[in-house]
Amino acid sequence: MELRVLEYFLAVAREQNISKAAEYLHLTQPTLSRQLKDLEEEFGKQLMIRGKRKVTLTEDGVYFRKRAEEIVSLANRTREEMRTSGDAIAGDIYIGAGETHAIHHIARVVKELQEEYEGIRFHIVSGDTADLQERLDKGLFDFCLLLGGIDQSRYEYLKLPFVDRWGVLMHRDSALAKKESISPEDLWDKPLILSRQILDEPQLYNWFGKPFADLNVVATYNLINNASIMAMEDMGYVVTLDKLVNVKGRALCFRPFSPERTVGMALVWKKYQTQSKAAGRFLEALSSAIEK
């Protein structure tokens, strides 16, 4: 299994057409078709269904596409890091981040660092904890900004001096909008919109005082922007963190939980991980900013 063949497969999966992929790759169609056939024979599995106009991935093909993307991404990162000259502080830094207002502080450090080192590029990918940790463990991220508890047996970490506050995002005309804060009982009979990650949060589970199965969960989300649209349409009450959505001038409002519930955060990285010079310098800059 060669890296270039993985790139061929990904091009076909992206274009959904062998002819278009061959043109993009500057290959002849028979050559590309033969490479894909050899790949399938190597695994003993059909990865693609070849229609007259469109190529569709099989279930095995969908799984393989995810793995191929990870392998190619890691290979490209390694190639770029090796090309960076010995003393230069430059290159790409990949950070996985949960949705939090604290990203503003990270962005300030990033901006100052890029003013000092023009060759540093940052890539920030949003996601929930499980997705981010999986990619961090596979070497696809340098760091992750995680909320809540940290598995200290797996990760080194830098605790950040910020906390986010749990509460409810809702339409301004909602019944609970008149309250200054929201108690668990207020939500027991209300239509709730929860993030996938909340279902694994023991702190919130205890706060609600009821099993999630007994609550009226009408929708779930993984990106707060989509959830805010549901709130705008008055579909229900979005349980989320404060300051993720700008409610100024919009038909939305945020009310904190009572009793209050907050969550801390940390920047984590794999134990025994060899960091690039650029990643190491970023960590130093962030630590210095925190001390100040």
Residue 155, Cβ neighbours under 10 Å: how many?
Answer: 20
Q: Are residues 230 and 114 in the same domain?
A: no
Residues 157, 268: one domain?
Answer: yes
Do residues 254 and 195 share a domain?
A: yes
Domain count, the chain: 3
- The answer to whether residues 21 and 107 belong to one domain is no
3-state SS of the chain?
Answer: CCHHHHHHHHHHHHHCCHHHHHHHHCCCHHHHHHHHHHHHHHHCCCCEEECCCCEEECHHHHHHHHHHHHHHHHHHHHHHHHHCCCCCCCEEEEEEECCCCCHHHHHHHHHHHHHHCCCEEEEEEECCHHHHHHHHHCCCCCEEEEECCCCCCCEEEEEEEEEEEEEEEEECCCHHHHCCCECHHHHCCCCEEEEHHHHHCHHHHHHHCCCHHHCCEEEEECCHHHHHHHHHCCCCEEEEECCCCCCCCCCEEEEEECCCCEEEEEEEEECCCCCCHHHHHHHHHHHHHHHC
* Pair 48, 106 in one domain: no
Q: What is the CATH number of the domain that holds 40?
A: 1.10.10.10
Mean pLDDT per 10-residue run, the chain (292 residues)? 88 91 89 91 91 89 89 80 68 90 92 92 88 88 90 91 95 96 96 83 82 91 92 96 93 96 93 86 94 84
In terms of domains, do 51 and 175 share one? Answer: no
- The CATH number that applies at residue 105 is 3.40.190.10
Same domain assignment for residues 73 and 91? no
Q: What are phi and psi of 221, to 5 degrees?
A: -150, 165
Residues 129 and 141 in one domain: yes
Q: Can you give the pLDDT at residue 200? A: 64
Query: Where is the domain boundary, 63, 81, 99?
Result: 81
Same domain, 105 and 46: no
Q: Which of 16, 48, 81 is the last residue of a domain?
A: 81
Provide the Cα torsion 77, 79, 83, 89; round to 10°: 20
Together in a domain, 133 and 178: no
Query: Are 16 and 153 part of one and the same domain?
Result: no
Domain span at 215: 165-262
Which residue reads 């278009």 in tokens?
20
Do 175 and 213 belong together in one domain? Answer: yes
